[in-house]
Structure 1
């Protein structure tokens, strides 16, 4: 069990952020007799998921929906379908971004291409190389 300050330190967020997420219903805690809030490992995992989702531009409402799906025994297919559609839209957007970048990369000389590709993750490099081969 983590006190709010301990959880904040482990996840590198502010206590205020954890308090806000708790009030929003994104995180759950238990209260001690002296009114301290304690968070379990489930809250730690959920906080990491919240941060990950926010990095992927999800709203707090969407994140709350995803968290409720995670703990629900009775899953509504429409909610799952909505999340799949959201992810598909994000993938379509990113695919467009990759295509735009590929056009620029294809105009670079070999040395500059290597410099660019060295700054990209191995998975992204493989994807870019595959797309370059497909576009030829």
Structure 2
């Protein structure tokens, strides 16, 4: 269990932001008799997921829906449908960006192209390949 300051330190998310997420219902905490907030270990994973979702330009309300679906036994199909639509839109956006990058890379020489590809992690290359298959 973490107090808010400890969670902030471990996650590198400000106490103010953690407080805001808690008030929104994105994070859950237990209260002590002294009214201290205590966060479970899974709050670190929740904060990481929130950050990843924000990088995908999801709103906090969309993130809350995603967390609800992940932690719930009863799944609301409409919430799930919104999430699928959001992911599909992100994939379309990434697909377009990938095509632009690949076209620009064609203008490079073989050595420069190989150097750039070495900078991309194997996981990213696998993701690019998968994205091309599913969106192509």
Shorter-chain TM-score: what band? 0.7 to 0.9
In 2 relative to 1, CA 95–129 (structure 1 residues): closer, same or farther, beyond 3 Å? closer
Structure 1: state its 5+ residue gaps.
Answer: 132-136
Tell me how far 1:130 sits from its aligned partner.
9.3
Q: Which one has a bigger Cα radius of gyration? A: 1
Map of 2:6 onto structure 1: 6
Per-residue CA deviation, residues 82-112 of structure 1 (Å, 9 max, x unaligned), is: 1111101111110111111111101111121
RMSD: 2.2
Tell me how far 1:6 sits from its aligned partner.
0.6
Structure 2: state its 5+ residue gaps.
Answer: 132-136
The 5-angstrom pairing of residues 82-97 of structure 1 reads 82-97=82-97
* TM-score of the pair, normalised by structure 2: 0.86
Distance 1:59 1:88 in 2: 16
Map of 1:23 onto structure 2: 23
Map of 2:45 onto structure 1: 45
* TM-score of the pair, normalised by structure 1: 0.86
Residues 8, 14 of structure 1: 8 Å contact kept: yes
In structure 2, the residue corresponding to 1:38 is in which secondary structure?
A: strand
Map of 1:134 onto structure 2: none
Moved more, 23-32 or 117-126: 117-126
Aligned length: 132
In 2 relative to 1, CA 19–78 (structure 1 residues): closer, same or farther, beyond 3 Å? same
Tell me how far 1:113 sits from its aligned partner.
0.7
In 2 relative to 1, CA 130–115 (structure 1 residues): closer, same or farther, beyond 3 Å? farther
